[in-house]
Amino acid sequence: MADLSLRTRLKTAFIGLAVVPLLLMGMILIWLSHDVEMEQALELQDEISRRVAAQIDAYLHLVEHELNLAARINPIMDMAPAAQREVVSRLRSFHNPDHEELYEEAALMDKKGRVVALASRVNVYGNADMGNRSATDEFKTPFTKLETYYSPIRFDAKTGEPFLTIAVPIVAARSGRAIGVLSAVVRLRDIRGFISNLNIGKRGIAYVVDNNGVVVVHRNPSVVLKGTIFKLPSKPGAAIGLDGKKAVLGFTPLAVSGAVYHVVTERPAQEATALPMRIVIVTILVIIVSLAGVVSLAMLVNRKVLRPLELLADTAQSIENGDLERKAGHTGDYELDTLADAFNGMARRLISNITALQYHIRERDAANAALKKKTVALETINVRLEKEFVDKLAAQRALTDSHERLLAVLNSLDAAVYVADMKTHEILFANALVESLFGDVVGRTCWQALQSGQTGPCPFCTNDKLIDAHGQPTGAYKWEFRNTANGLWYAIHDRAIRWIDGRLVKLAISYDITERKNLEAEKLRSDKLAAMGTLAAGIAHEINNPLTNASLAIELLKDKLNCCGEKAGEILQKIMEVELSIDHAAAIAKELLHFSRQKELQLTETDVNKVIGAAIGFMRYKLDGVTLTKELARLPAVNADPGRLQQVFINILSNAADAMPNGGNIKITTTSSESHVTIIITDTGIGVAPGDTMRVFEPFFSTKEIGRGTGLGLSISYGIIIQHNGTIDLSSEQGKGTTITIKLPVRGKA
């Protein structure tokens, strides 16, 4: 391409830019026009197919409608034979104003399939011709299924006229059961006539094929009588037609009862594509005329433009070779002469510029020498700066690594660590444990993020203990505190330190000591119970002796007063009141002895559900008016003393009944895990005040009225469960009820 002249290149470019788009546009127009016309031809045939299918469907619905009207004549099956024949004859002769007679034959069958009335368009039938059709689908389908029956299309052997049998059930109004069948042989001559008269171009035809491809309706009866089979293509479009020639096909399915037919419209391919081919020819002629115009225009451009441009190119070549005195000549064309004058002026300026350029080259060489010296100095400075940058980057990486190691250590601690500004109380840092307990707290004030119920800095804040009078750090401050947000106990080490920006901040390190606190409380409770047990035993022994003597004295007084007659009645009454008080005191002493004794348990393999059942049976008298619900799971055995365990359940049920003087609900639930059996007893009683829930297992503590309890029931129950290596807990909401949860170890898991 580089060896070609400017004229040749411009000619090639001009023709290419003019002809190629024209040819491309022409081919696109031909392709689009052909496709659009083909689609329109196919859509037209599909529309004709749908219209024919709609006409056939409407015709068959008309026939079925007339049959159903005749079948509803009440009571047709109860009419006299003559009246039935009259109805059937009128039905057979029915014709619509738009059609000829619809029916070739009509028949009425009773519930046994016997023909009781028969009328024909061409034949006369007597009683001997009636027959029985009970074995035919014409009778069985409508009679048993209560639905309309359509037979396959059949043809008259002589005329080729198509027929279709339609049968409808006659249903009793009251029972809804079939009592007969009305059938008719329908003439499809109107459908064949409609298809024969259909205008589909000059040589287009329409016909109907069944689901097996057999032609059942055609304008030429011989095609139908020969049993012509036509296999439909997978989709409408160009295909081989019924006569074996290329054609454009359109078809629409037509459902008749359970059978599917297709209405097919067909046009010869040559006729269907005539318009697209004419458009192709016209487009080709337009392209040829356009090409002729393009060639003429190219010749004119060559003479008027390209030749003068070649002369200018020769002048430029001479100047390139050093002949700066060469001048471009005039051609007589104003635009090209202007271009030649501009070209000659450019040559003069080029001579002047070359002279100036030589001067500048000499100056540039001098400047380059000075620049080289400065470049050497800059390279030295650059080496030093690069070394400083590398050193600073290494120091920054070391600092980052150190920071990440410190974070890893702080986040691995089993302690909550945070840093807060001592003036604003804003949290500046928190390790992973703090975030897991309280969420994202950085940026929030400590009294809002870590505590609850605070409207300002906490009254127990330790900031003033971490600095001296001069505002300097004093050292670590250690204290213990129960967090108001999560209820956990913490051992806290607080210290004032300087933050990276120089301000004073508080570093707080907190260790969870909740388990230790619970163990201490449990030990304190056990020590208290042991002390109370010792005291109770002493009190019980001290009280029992005087009470025994008082009881003996009362018995002696009663014996003596029995001899005094009626005058001693009032005295005996008072003595009996004293005796009741002594009995009550003795019961209290007995409870004290039970509380104080730590008898060795008689452990056996025990079914907890059976022990609960025994306790309920024992307490049945006290649970009158209380609704008791049990959800007892199948439990593994536990090592327990059944008698002592029953005493626990009796105490709890008794307390629950006392808490519901007006009746209520008690629910007992048992569940199990791999290691424990859990018993949950819930009542709907008056509940326990929030401040008393921690004291309910203390000896002599009772929420009952004075004289109604000793306050030892739950204490004794607590001791028994602890002896079984179990746990007992109480939760209550005042006014709504109380729940007691007991856990006992499974046998072999203690």
Segment 163-203, tens digit of pLDDT:
889 999 988 888 888 889 999 988 877 777 777 777 777 77
Greater pLDDT, 728 or 382: 728
Q: What are phi and psi of 209, to 5 degrees?
A: -120, 150
Whether 110 has a pLDDT exceeding 80, the answer reads yes
**Whole-angstrom distance, CA of residue 688 vs CA of residue 203:** 102
Decide if pLDDT at 574 tops 70.
no
Instruction: Write the pLDDT tens digit of every residue in 232-287.
Output: 887 787 788 777 778 888 788 877 766 788 888 887 877 766 666 666 677 777 77
Q: What percent of the chain has pLDDT over 70?
A: 73
CA-to-CA dists, residue 707 to 586, 588, 742, angstroms: 14, 11, 28
In this model, does residue 710 exceed pLDDT 60? no
Q: Is the pLDDT of residue 417 over 60?
A: yes
Residue 509 has pLDDT above 90, yes or no: yes
Which pLDDT band holds residue 564 (cuts at 50, 70, 90)?
low
pLDDT digits (tens, 9 = 90+) for 643-687: 889 888 988 898 888 888 888 999 999 999 989 999 999 999 988
- Does 707 have pLDDT greater than 60? no
Residue 331, classified by CB atoms within 10 Å of its CB into exposed (0-12), middle (13-18) or buried (19+), is middle
Least confident of 291-300, 466-475, 632-641: 291-300
Question: Distance (Å, rounded) from C-alpha 559 to C-alpha 549?
Answer: 16
Look at residue 4 and tell me whether its pLDDT is greater than 60. no
Lowest mean per-residue pLDDT among 140-144, 463-467, 489-493, 567-571: 567-571
Report whether 149 contacts 142 (CB < 8 A). Answer: yes
- How far is the C-alpha of 452 from the C-alpha of 447, rounded, in Å? 8
Q: What is the pLDDT of residue 175?
A: 84
332-381 pLDDT per residue, tens: 666 667 777 776 777 777 777 777 777 788 888 788 888 888 888 778 88
**DSSP for 8-27?**
HHHHHHHHHHHHHHHHHHHH
Looking at the chain, the whole-number percentage of residues with pLDDT higher than 90 is 14
Average pLDDT for the chain = 78
In our burial notation (b when 16+ CB lie closer than 10 A, e otherwise), range 152-183 reads: ebebeeeebbbbbbbbbbbbeeeeeebbbbbb
Q: What are the percentages of helix, strand and coil residues in the chain, rounded to 5?
A: 50, 20, 30
In sequence order, the 6+-apart residues with CB closer than 8 A to the CB of 499 are 419, 421, 428, 505
Residue 742: pLDDT over 90: yes
Sequential DSSP letters for 135-163: TSHHHHHHHHH-S-EEPPPEE-TTT--EE
CA distance 529 to 542: 19
Region 299-321: mean pLDDT is 67
- Give the Cα separation of 262 and 213 in Å (integer): 9
Do the beta carbons of residue 665 and residue 653 sit within 8 Å?
A: no
Q: Mind listing the pLDDT tens digit for each residue in 119-129?
A: 888 888 877 77
Minimal CA–CA distance to 697: which of 529, 496, 490?
529
pLDDT at 580: 63
Q: Which one is predicted more confidently, 691 or 147? A: 147
* 3-class secondary structure, 82: helix
Residue 413 binned pLDDT confidence (cut-offs 50, 70, 90): confident
- Confidence band for 151, pLDDT divided at 50, 70 and 90: confident
Reply yes or no on whether the pLDDT at 403 is more than 50: yes
In contact, 679 and 663? CB cutoff 8 Å: no
Kind of pairing between the strands at 215-217 and 237-240: unpaired
Sheet holding 215-217, edge to edge: 215-217, 205-209, 259-268, 246-256, 237-240
Provide the token pair at 678: 């859990």
CA–CA dist 410, 477 (Å, integer):
20
* Per-residue pLDDT, 70: 78
Residues in the chain: 750
Those residues whose C-beta lies under 8 Å from the C-beta of residue 585, and which sit 6 or more positions away, are 543, 547
Sign of CA dihedral 465, 469, 470, 474: negative
Cβ atoms of 248 and 45 within 8 Å: the answer is yes
pLDDT digits 0-9 by tens, 615-654: 888 888 788 888 999 999 999 999 999 888 988 898 889 8
DSSP codes, 402-434: HHHHHHHHHHHSSSEEEEEETTT-BEEEE-HHH
Q: Select the more confidently predicted residue: 235 or 26.
A: 235
pTM above 0.85, yes or no: no
Amino acid code (one letter) for 226: K
Report d(CA 506, CA 204) in Å as an integer: 100
Strands (E), 21-96: none
- 87 has a pLDDT exceeding 70: yes
Q: What is the SS3 assignment for 336?
A: helix
E strands, 309-363, where? none
B/e letters for 503-520, b = 16+ CB within 10 Å, e = fewer, are ebbbbbbbebbeeebeee
Confidence check: pLDDT of 50 > 50: yes
21 pLDDT above the threshold of 70: yes
